Amino acid sequence: MRLVRLRDASRPRITLTLEGQAIEAQQGDTLLTALLAGNAGHLRDSEFGDGHRAGFCLMGACQDCWVVVEGVGRVRACATLAAQGMEVRRG
């Protein structure tokens, strides 16, 4: 899945990492936006072997966008703002 930036797309840049790989994002991005607009493709894998997941409701209800932020713990990517230097792992 790739989120496409259609509006407000020239904000100051930030950099974070996903599994050690650099991801370019923009100030004001949620983690979900930062990762999925930054070619991460997906956020987590189903525990039941039925494939990748990349969130679903974007309103903090479905719990299918969990990722792990170093030093913070498990968060919902849709409800967490991305910040410069964040180290993220798939959830």
Separation CA 91–CA 75 (nearest Å): 8
Contacting residues for 58 by C-beta, under 8 A, at least 6 apart:
32, 65, 78
By CB under 8 A, the residues from 4 to 43 that bind other proteins are 4-9, 11-12, 26-30, 33, 36-37, 41-43
CB-based contact 19:40 (threshold 8 Å): no
Nearer to other proteins, 20 or 49 (CB): 49
Say whether residue 90 binds other proteins (CB under 8 A): no
Binding site for other proteins (CB under 8 A): 1-9, 11-12, 26-30, 33, 36-37, 41-43, 46-64, 73-74, 79, 81
